[in-house]
Amino acid sequence: MKKIVFQILVLSGIMISISSCTKELDENILGSLELEFENLYDGQRLVLNSQTYKNAMGEEHTVSQFDYFISNIKLTKENGEVFIVPQKESYFIVKHNDPASQKFTISGIPQGKYTNIKYLIGVDSMRNTMDVSERTGALDVGGAAQGMYWSWNSGYIFLKMEGTSPAAPLNQTTGQRGFRFHIGGFGGLNSKTINNIKEITLTAEDPFTVKENKTPHAHIFVDASKVMNGKTNVSIATNHTTMFNPFSVNVADNYTAMFKLDHFH
């Protein structure tokens, strides 16, 4: 009798375990993922206006603004399946002077183990050219995206970095020696133009699990020094104002290296 009771208990335990595993892997059950972007400069927390930095060309400078778009987020599972965040819910502006913008949560993710996170730095061509009524939230040019859109060029500024430097020429109007990197360009609407849309892939050292009632927190380091230092070492003296011009491609190529998935909480 005791043997029968023991067998029943073991069988019940196995069934509970199977049921638990099945629930964990059930893609119909949804979870969330939190992303946090921590802006650095050469490994140290980025400080606006008061901290002096030096680029690879040896030019001293301070940074007064550092903002960028994150969009079109995708998550890849261990088995290769890709979850694409619904596009309308997949646009964010990270602003260094707005700590609240540096952390956001993505909901509605099927449960499972994921290995990497993909996203664009910038705004895709489709959304760039949609009617203004379709560009809300982070894309609202009169709201959150104010200052991150070229009305004269009909396109979003993907990354904006500004500051001052003794290496920059003197502006006779402001009396300052400033630099500006306003990088955009989605490839053009009616004719081909600069395309600085970049996709970033961050791979986790170990798969991270999205489950119901359990939200993993991805901590991503963003090194602003990479805007000027990288494949092309940018001179402020030579390229103090870089916007919608051919040289902007070099800056965009540089900053693709500024993201690092550091750890999960």
Encode pLDDT of 155-197 as tens digits.
Answer: 999 999 999 999 999 998 889 999 999 999 999 878 889 999 9
Q: Are strands 178-184 and 241-242 parallel, antiparallel or unpaired?
A: parallel
- Return the pLDDT at 4: 52
- Per-residue pLDDT tens digits for 93-118: 999 999 999 999 999 999 999 999 99
The closest of 102, 124, 139, 116 to 208, measured between CA atoms, is 116
pLDDT 10s digits, 3-31: 554 454 444 554 444 444 444 558 789 99
Chain mean position to CA 186: 17
Query: Helix H segments across the chain?
Result: 2-25, 125-128, 248-255
* Separation of alpha carbons 221 and 5, rounded Å: 55
3-state SS assignment for residue 101: helix
CB 226 within 8 A of CB 206: no
Task: Dump pLDDT digits (tens) for 41-89.
Answer: 999 999 999 999 999 999 999 999 999 999 999 999 999 999 999 999 9
- Tens of pLDDT, residue by residue over 202-217, are 999 999 999 998 899 9
Please tell me the total number of residues recorded for the chain in this structure: 265
**Both tokens assigned to 149:** 């859109």
Rounded CA gap, 93 and 146, in Å?
11
Look at the block and give the residue holding tokens 């009169």.
142
